[in-house]
Structure 1
Amino acid sequence: MNKPELLAPAGNLEKLKMALIYGADAVYLGGQSFGLRAFSDNFSESEMKEGISFAHSLGKKAYITVNVFPHNEDLAALPAYLQFIWQAGADGIIISDAGVYRVAREITPGLPLHISTQANNTNWSSVLFWQELGARRVVLARELSLADIGVIRKKVNLELEAFIHGAMCISYSGRCLLSNYFTGRDANRGECAQPCRWKYALQEEKRPGQYFPVVEDDRGTYIFNSKDLCLLGHLPELINSGLNSFKIEGRMKSVHYVATVVKVYREAIDAYADAPEKFQVKQEWKDELEKISHRAYTTGFYFNKTSAEDQIYGSSSYMQSHEFIGLVKAYDSHTGLAVIEQRNNMKTGEEIEIMQPGQPNFSQKIEIMYNEFNELIDVAPHPQQLITMPMKKAVAEYSMLRRRV
Structure 2
Amino acid sequence: MQNIKVKHPEVLAPAGTPEKLRVAIDYGADAVYIGGDAYGLRSRAGNFSFDEMAAGAAYAHERGAKVYVAANIVAHEQNLAGAGAFYRHVRDAGIDAVIVSDPSLIETAITEAPGLKVHLSTQASATNYETLNFWKNEGLERVVLAREVGIDEIKEIRQHTDIQIEAFIHGAMCIGYSGRCVLSNHLSLRDANRGGCAQNCRWKYDLFDLPENGQKRELMGHGPDGQLEKFSMSAVDMSMIEHIPDLVDAGVDSLKIEGRMKTIHYVSTVANVYSTAVRSYCADPEHYQLDPAWVDELWKVAQRELSTGFYYGVPDENFQLFGKRRRMPRYTFVGQVLAYDKASKQVTVQQRNNFGIGDTVEFYGPNFAHHSQKITDLYDDQNQPIDRAPHAMQVVHFTCAQAVQPGDFMRANEN
Normalized against structure 2, the TM-score is what? 0.94
Matches within 5 A, 1:150-189: 150-189=155-194
> Secondary structure of the equivalent of 1:172?
coil
CA contact 1:223–1:312 (8 Å) conserved in 2? yes
1:348 to 341, 344, 357: 357
Q: What is the identity, as a one-letter code, of the residue corresponding to 2:354?
A: N
CA contact 1:221–1:315 (8 Å) conserved in 2? no
2:119 to 83, 108, 114: 114
CA distance in 2, matches of 1:249, 1:306: 19
> Secondary structure of the equivalent of 1:247?
strand
CA contact 1:63–1:94 (8 Å) conserved in 2? yes
- Corresponding residue for 1:372? 381
Deviation, 1:19, is: 0.6
User: Would the alpha carbon gap of residues 322 and 209 (structure 1) be closer, same or farther in structure 2, given more than 3 Å must change?
Assistant: farther
Deviation, 1:319, is: 3.0
- Corresponding residue for 1:275? 284
CA distance in 2, matches of 1:272, 1:245: 15
Q: What is the identity, as a one-letter code, of the residue corresponding to 1:38?
A: S
Deviation, 1:280, is: 1.1
Q: What is the identity, as a one-letter code, of the residue corresponding to 1:192?
A: C
Q: Deviation string for 1:56-83 (max 9, x for gaps)?
A: 1111100001101111111112122111
Q: Does 1:262 align with 2:268?
A: no
- Corresponding residue for 1:67? 72
User: Would the alpha carbon gap of residues 116 and 195 (structure 1) be closer, same or farther in structure 2, given more than 3 Å must change?
Assistant: same
CA contact 1:9–1:258 (8 Å) conserved in 2? yes
Q: Deviation string for 1:30-58 (max 9, x for gaps)?
A: 01211101111222232222211111111
Matches within 5 A, 1:293-312: 293-312=302-321
Matches within 5 A, 1:1-400: 1-204=6-209, 210=216, 212-215=218-221, 219-314=228-323, 319-400=328-409
Deviation, 1:223, is: 2.9
The farther-off stretch of 287-296 and 113-122 is 287-296
> Secondary structure of the equivalent of 1:54?
helix
User: Would the alpha carbon gap of residues 157 and 303 (structure 1) be closer, same or farther in structure 2, given more than 3 Å must change?
Assistant: same
CA contact 1:203–1:209 (8 Å) conserved in 2? no
Structure 2: tracts of 5 or more residues without a match: 1-5
CA contact 1:342–1:380 (8 Å) conserved in 2? yes
> Secondary structure of the equivalent of 1:131?
helix
Give aligned pairs, total. Answer: 405
Q: What is the identity, as a one-letter code, of the residue corresponding to 1:278?
A: H
CA distance in 1, matches of 2:398, 2:58: 32
1:403 to 392, 396, 412: 412
CA distance in 2, matches of 1:124, 1:324: 42
Normalized against structure 1, the TM-score is what? 0.96
User: Would the alpha carbon gap of residues 151 and 359 (structure 1) be closer, same or farther in structure 2, given more than 3 Å must change?
Assistant: closer
CA distance in 2, matches of 1:269, 1:229: 17
Deviation, 1:315, is: 6.6
CA distance in 2, matches of 1:318, 1:110: 47
The farther-off stretch of 197-206 and 264-273 is 197-206
> Secondary structure of the equivalent of 1:100?
helix
Q: What is the identity, as a one-letter code, of the residue corresponding to 2:259?
A: G
CA contact 1:225–1:316 (8 Å) conserved in 2? no
Deviation, 1:180, is: 0.5
> Secondary structure of the equivalent of 1:202?
coil
Deviation, 1:314, is: 2.8
CA distance in 1, matches of 2:53, 2:394: 27
The farther-off stretch of 13-22 and 356-365 is 356-365
CA distance in 1, matches of 2:100, 2:59: 23
Q: What is the identity, as a one-letter code, of the residue corresponding to 1:55?
A: A
CA distance in 1, matches of 2:195, 2:326: 23
Q: What is the identity, as a one-letter code, of the residue corresponding to 2:329?
A: Q
Deviation, 1:204, is: 4.3
CA distance in 1, matches of 2:409, 2:45: 22
Q: What is the identity, as a one-letter code, of the residue corresponding to 2:19?
A: E
